[in-house]
Structure 1
Amino acid sequence: MKTTPLLMLSALLCTLATCINVMPPADFDLEKMAGKWYLVGLATNAQWFVTNKETMKIGTTVLAPTPGGDLDVSYANLTPAGTCWRMTHLAKKTDTPGRFSFRSHTWNNENDMRVVDAVYDSYAIFHTIKTVGDVPEVMNKLYSRSQEVSADLQEKFVQFALDTGVLSENILMLPKSAECSA
C-alpha cells in the first residue's frame, strides 16, 4: 500500500485523539508516588528510542512530591560504558491531579506527563506527550518498586502502549541492570 500525506495525517490524528483521552485515575494520591521506582518498561515510536533501544536497561527514578503539589523526578541509568547518566525535572502540577507539565532543557521539549494507573506499592504506568515545535511524540513508561514484574503486568503495559499508538516493535521490557551508586 502506498503511503500518502493524507494517510499519514489520518494516522497521526488517530494517535493524538487516543492520547488526549488518556487521563489519571480519579483517586490519584501524589504522596503515595513518593520513593524509588525502577523503570522496567518503555514504549515510544520516537526515533531516538528506535536507534538506541538495543542498549537500554532498567534504570531508577526517585519521585519526591513537593509541599506545593509538584513532583521532583530524578532519573539515573548506568550507561553501556559503565558511567552513571542522571537527569532531574520539576514536574509542575496542573488542575488535574496526576497530570504534570515540564520543559526538558536536556531534550528541548515540552512534556505533558500523566500517571494513568498506579498500585502505589507495586507499579505505575506513566503516559507522556513530548512536543518539540509542533511535533508530538508519545512515551509510555512502566515503573515498578522492584526490577521484577509479572507477565500479567507486562501484558497490561503492552496493551496500553498499543492502544496509545506505539508500534509493537517499539515496546520494550528493559533488561535488569546494576544501579548507579549514590
Structure 2
Amino acid sequence: MANTLVRMLAALMCTLAAFADIVPVQNFDLQRMAGKWYLVGIATNAPWFVNHRANMKMGTATVVATDGGDLDLTYANIKDDGTCWRMTHLAQKTDTPGRFTFHSQVWNNDNDITIVDIIYDDFALIHNIKTKDGVSEVVDKLYSRSTDVSAAHQQKFTDFSSGNGVLPENIVILPKAAECAEA
C-alpha cells in the first residue's frame, strides 16, 4: 500500500511538472469540434479511477459550441442496471483558444481543459487538470467520432499520458457498450 502511494505521489509530481508544457492544438476551431464523440480512452492516476477502472465502459460526449465561444459538454453512459447516467458542464473559454475552465458542482472541483490534438472528423486528445482542496489530478481522455479508434491514435494517447506521469496500468482503452437513448 505504501509503495503504491509513493508511486502515485511521484507520478502526480511528474504530472504537475509536465502540465507546464501542455499547449492547445494550433488553430483550434470549436465549431468543427461540435457534435457527438465517443469517450474511448481514459488515463489518470486518480484514486477514484484506480478503484473503478475495471467497471468503466465507453460512453458518449456531446460538444456544443455556445454563441459566446464556450463549450457545452454532456457525457452519457449506460450503467450496469441499464439506466443512463448523464452529466453536463458549461466550460468557459479562456484567452487561449483550445483551453476551457469550469467548476463541477457535482464533484466540487475546478477543471482546466486543454484540447491537445484533434482531427475534427476522427479523434481528439483532451488533457484535464482537476483540482479540489488544493490537490490536482490529471485526467487525459481520448475521443473518437466512432467506437473504433486507430492503433496510431491509441499509441499517441498512451505516449501522451505516459509523458504526463500516468502509470501504464492506468491508461485504458474502454470496452464498447450500449449507448444511452437521446435525451
Give the Cα–Cα distance (whole angstroms) in 1 for the partners of residues 51 and 11 of structure 2: 22
User: Is the partner of 2:67 in helix, strand or coil?
Assistant: coil
Does the aligned pair in 1 maintain the 2:25–2:117 contact within 8 Å?
yes
Which one is further off, 43-52 or 13-22?
A: 13-22
Give the Cα–Cα distance (whole angstroms) in 2 for the partners of residues 78 and 8 of structure 1: 29
Relative to 1, partners in 2 of residues 1:180 and 1:27: Cα closer, same or farther, differing over 3 Å?
same
For structure 1, the 5+ residue unaligned runs are none
Q: Kindly provide the amino acid, as one letter, of the partner of residue 15 in structure 1.
A: T
* Cα shift at 1:7: 9.5
Percent of aligned pairs with the same amino acid: 58
Matched pairs, number? 180
For structure 2, the 5+ residue unaligned runs are none
Q: Is 1:97 equivalent to 2:97 in the alignment?
A: yes
User: Is the partner of 1:42 in helix, strand or coil?
Assistant: strand
Q: Is 1:67 equivalent to 2:67 in the alignment?
A: yes
Matches within 5 A, 1:27-66: 27-66=27-66
Aligned residue for 1:123? Answer: 123
TM-score, length-scaled by structure 1: 0.93
Which one is further off, 128-137 or 150-159?
A: 150-159
Relative to 1, partners in 2 of residues 1:118 and 1:82: Cα closer, same or farther, differing over 3 Å?
same
Q: Kindly provide the amino acid, as one letter, of the partner of residue 150 in structure 2.
A: S
Q: Kindly provide the amino acid, as one letter, of the partner of residue 48 in structure 2.
A: W
User: Is the partner of 1:17 in helix, strand or coil?
Assistant: helix
Aligned residue for 2:172? Answer: 172
Q: Kindly provide the amino acid, as one letter, of the partner of residue 158 in structure 1.
A: T
Relative to 1, partners in 2 of residues 1:113 and 1:53: Cα closer, same or farther, differing over 3 Å?
same
Give the Cα–Cα distance (whole angstroms) in 1 for the partners of residues 175 and 157 of structure 2: 16
Give the Cα–Cα distance (whole angstroms) in 1 for the partners of residues 77 and 48 of structure 2: 16
Query: Superposition RMSD on alpha carbons, in Å?
Result: 1.9
Aligned residue for 2:87? Answer: 87
User: Is the partner of 1:53 in helix, strand or coil?
Assistant: helix
* Cα shift at 1:20: 2.1
* Cα shift at 1:153: 1.1
